Structure 1
């Protein structure tokens, strides 16, 4: 991947914030990855129910990662290649490696669920370490996207064009997956980001969808965070449910 260093400097020196398609979803991914890794690390392998629940949560993470890669390949990389051929090459190669790693981790997770009781402790530790390495590489990978890829996008697309690309990507996500995104994205945004995302949904989404998003988010915000969000969105005072 050949990235113009002048473009990289523009990322750091930009006087006004640009449209960043990576920022929100990457906060969601970092939070989700950390949550699943911590759950795996503290799991009681001798508790059959806990073993089943935690392994299912790991598989859920892996499937979400697979879907995220597809979205980026189809929309973001396509946009980059249209105006900067070759610019997404390095990350596209890493995406292919991530797909292989996801398959291997899913197989390892399923094997842990099905293995004999005496092998569970060792299997859980091996999976924990493998998932740790996968997450570590993803954290570095996301940093490159947020810096180098944004440099390419910002040098070649207007904010209006980036919004169109982002809206097309979001429109391609099935409703159940979108609610999962909202659950892991919104609580881990800062208040301004949180208000901007839900404010856009409030303005453009059907009222029942907006109400459902608030219901998904509310249990994961502190009372102070919820109060700030409510003030920003001018929500009615009282319980966190909004009539659709």
Structure 2
């Protein structure tokens, strides 16, 4: 049986994809002649753009340096893609700025349509980009680093994230991963984080998960007494 290696991108990429899909679905339903609906959609889009901008910075600071020493050309390719991603984000933001300052309904609708199309371009690029990362970057990491070494890089990256942003991202991760991944992730937090942090993640999971998935998670976590102590 082929051994499964540690994929540092898996959880955050699932969360990022889910945030893309959620914002895209909101955009499709939005009547941009309505200030209330338009603002709701724009806030979602702006938050997604922020997530991806932060994700690119984290990769540039932590993942790509680990690749650089073994495949500098690959790093150059991905850095150029991050520049492209930033340009796509700027296109969306330019239309958002124009929408915010106009009250002409026809213009609001036209700008909303442009936001929608530009966001679709952003989605298409990033879905392909994330697939490439999980293929090409992981191949280099797996060839030259142990799972423990990759995990240490990942932990340093996570520790650099602002707590409020980390909490937001954690909610998207909880919503976006399967039961086995969720159980493994929560157990990892339990084994490495202070008890108060573990309890906070359990409470977050309870608030984010449907009842049946929360019940499964409680049963699946090792050391059921800890969950019982918290929830009775």
Same fold (TM over 0.5): yes
1:237 Cα deviation after fit: 5.2
The whole-number CA distance in structure 2 between the counterparts of 1:89 and 1:96 is 11
Q: How many residues align?
A: 228
RMSD: 1.9
Q: Does 1:64 align with 2:54?
A: no
Show the 5 A alignment for 1:140-155: 140-155=128-143
Q: Secondary structure at the match of 2:181?
A: helix
Match for residue 104 of structure 1 among 91, 96, 99: 91
1:96 Cα deviation after fit: 1.1
1:84 Cα deviation after fit: 2.7
Q: Residues 217 and 54 from structure 1, CA distance in 2 versus in 1: closer, same or farther, beyond 3 angstroms?
A: farther
For residues 158-209 of structure 1, give each alpha carbon's deviation from its aligned partner in whole angstroms, at most 9, with x where no partner exists. Answer: 1111111111111111111111111111221111111111111122223333
For residues 76-129 of structure 1, give each alpha carbon's deviation from its aligned partner in whole angstroms, at most 9, with x where no partner exists. Answer: 100000233322221111001111221221222232232222211111111101
The whole-number CA distance in structure 1 between the counterparts of 2:206 and 2:107 is 40
Partner of 1:83 in structure 2? Answer: 70
Contact 2:174/2:208 (<8 A) preserved: no
Q: Residues 242 and 123 from structure 1, CA distance in 2 versus in 1: closer, same or farther, beyond 3 angstroms?
A: farther
The whole-number CA distance in structure 2 between the counterparts of 1:87 and 1:162 is 18
For residues 195-226 of structure 1, give each alpha carbon's deviation from its aligned partner in whole angstroms, at most 9, with x where no partner exists. Answer: 11111112222333333323333333222211
Contact 2:85/2:125 (<8 A) preserved: no
User: With structure 1 as the length reference, what TM-score do the two structures score?
Assistant: 0.87
The whole-number CA distance in structure 1 between the counterparts of 2:167 and 2:63 is 21
Structure 2 regions of 5+ residues with no counterpart?
Answer: none
The whole-number CA distance in structure 2 between the counterparts of 1:219 and 1:122 is 38
Q: Does 1:220 align with 2:208?
A: yes
The whole-number CA distance in structure 1 between the counterparts of 2:128 and 2:16 is 13
The whole-number CA distance in structure 2 between the counterparts of 1:182 and 1:151 is 26
Q: Does 1:93 align with 2:80?
A: yes
Q: Residues 219 and 47 from structure 1, CA distance in 2 versus in 1: closer, same or farther, beyond 3 angstroms?
A: farther
Compare the two structures and name the one with the higher helix fraction. 2
User: With structure 2 as the length reference, what TM-score do the two structures score?
Assistant: 0.91
The whole-number CA distance in structure 1 between the counterparts of 2:99 and 2:197 is 38
